[in-house]
Amino acid sequence: MQFIQGIGALILTLAVFSAFSLKCPKGDEAMGGLANAAIASFLVEAIFQYILGDFAGVPLFAAIGGAAGSLGGTASAILVSFAMGTDPVFAVAGGLACSQFGILPGFLAAYAMHFALRIVKKIPAGLDVIAGALLSATGFYLIAHVTSPGVTAVIATVGGAITEATHQSPLLMGFVLGGIMKIVCTSPLSSMALTAMLGLTGLPMGIACTACFGGAFSNAVLFHRLHLGGEGSTLAVILEPLTQADIITRHPIPIYASSFLGGSLSGIAAVTLGIVCDAPGTASTIPGLLAPFAFNDPARVILAMGIALLCGLAGGWIASMLFKPWAARVPAAVPGK
């Protein structure tokens, strides 16, 4: 039951994000800001701290990465506010107040306060900046403080699913965990944020890294064959899925199906070759490719990632065939997107 509840919670979370992007005012803009925040904080942390710092042994990069990763809430609050058009002074004031919170509470605070701060327009010029900064700092902090426990509970539920999968047979764990983590990697929730908050290490983290790398090619095949986005979207979804969050939240079913297929098959490859990783927060395409080299024999990592790439291509091709009739209903790509 714990496993089923965890899977259900994950699916519900993905559905909520998709509905938010499609139906809520400025939902697309907010999702784009959240994606940028994950890149600015967790991607920098993964590459600088775990790869260039811990693996390459450069203390400066380790310090930079640790500093960036510790301010996910601030990055989220500021960049979501910027994306929605909030006054920059108000955005920074609110973001600084979210420094002790995670990326999702910062996102919720920025979204809610964007609309609440409209009241500042009624304040006389000269006082509006001061009043807006004070109101932003207070409002952002209170919203993040109130929502943080609920976000933590959701993450704990998803973490329970991962823990339950770990207790199963290794191959089943690779299949289920690989599919789950690649879906999360593709979704606005961010697998880097999730694995960092859960502190995953060892074989589960190795599965997540391998699945995120292999599954990226599943999404690329699907984007290409179903004509999702513009010319650069296929390459962009390989390098960093969060940059294509607006497309993904509009077409979640085929993309998440492709992600699950590629991630599941890649996860089995990771288990078969015993790929481990003790660097939480590296579950993304490029960090997922590089981080395992710090904890495994390089030849074994190269073999695993090569197999994962082939698994990803196969998963994307299968998904594109299944959803080929659906492709005719996809809106034409916007030039430059």
* Segment-wise mean pLDDT, segments of 10 residues, the chain, 337 residues: 62 72 84 79 80 85 91 93 94 95 90 92 83 94 93 72 68 86 77 69 87 91 80 78 74 85 93 86 83 87 95 90 68 45
Clarify whether residues 238 and 293 are in a common domain: yes
Instruction: Look at residue 241 in the predicted model and tell me its pLDDT.
Output: 78
Report how far apart, in Å, the C-alpha atoms of 67 and of each of 108, 226, 269, 273 are.
Answer: 22, 40, 34, 34
Clarify whether residues 45 and 142 are in a common domain: yes
Clarify whether residues 106 and 240 are in a common domain: no
Clarify whether residues 207 and 230 are in a common domain: yes
Residues facing residue 277 across a β-bridge: 202
Place of tokens 């979207």: 233
Clarify whether residues 149 and 12 are in a common domain: yes
| DSSP-based three-state secondary structure for 277 | strand
Boundary of a domain, candidates 125, 147, 167: 167
Instruction: Look at residue 333 in the predicted model and tell me its pLDDT.
Output: 46
Boundary of a domain, candidates 139, 167, 195: 167
Clarify whether residues 265 and 152 are in a common domain: no
Clarify whether residues 162 and 21 are in a common domain: yes
Clarify whether residues 177 and 326 are in a common domain: yes
Boundary of a domain, candidates 112, 138, 167: 167
Instruction: Look at residue 189 in the predicted model and tell me its pLDDT.
Output: 64
Report how far apart, in Å, the C-alpha atoms of 277 and of each of 49, 204, 212, 255, 295 are.
Answer: 14, 8, 13, 26, 6
| DSSP-based three-state secondary structure for 101 | coil
Instruction: Look at residue 336 in the predicted model and tell me its pLDDT.
Output: 44
Please name the residue ranges forming H helices in 98-232.
Answer: 103-116, 128-166, 170-186, 191-198, 202-226
Model pTM score: 0.72
Clarify whether residues 91 and 224 are in a common domain: no
Clarify whether residues 149 and 272 are in a common domain: no
Clarify whether residues 252 and 284 are in a common domain: yes
Clarify whether residues 94 and 237 are in a common domain: no
As for how many domains the chain has, the answer is 2
Cα separation, 139 vs 78, in Å, equals 14
Cα separation, 311 vs 335, in Å, equals 31
State which H helix or E strand residue 58 sits in.
none
Q: What is the number of other CB atoms lying within 10 angstroms of the CB of residue 329? A: 7
Question: Which structural domain range is residue 296 located in?
Answer: 169-337
| Token reading at 330 | 């996809």
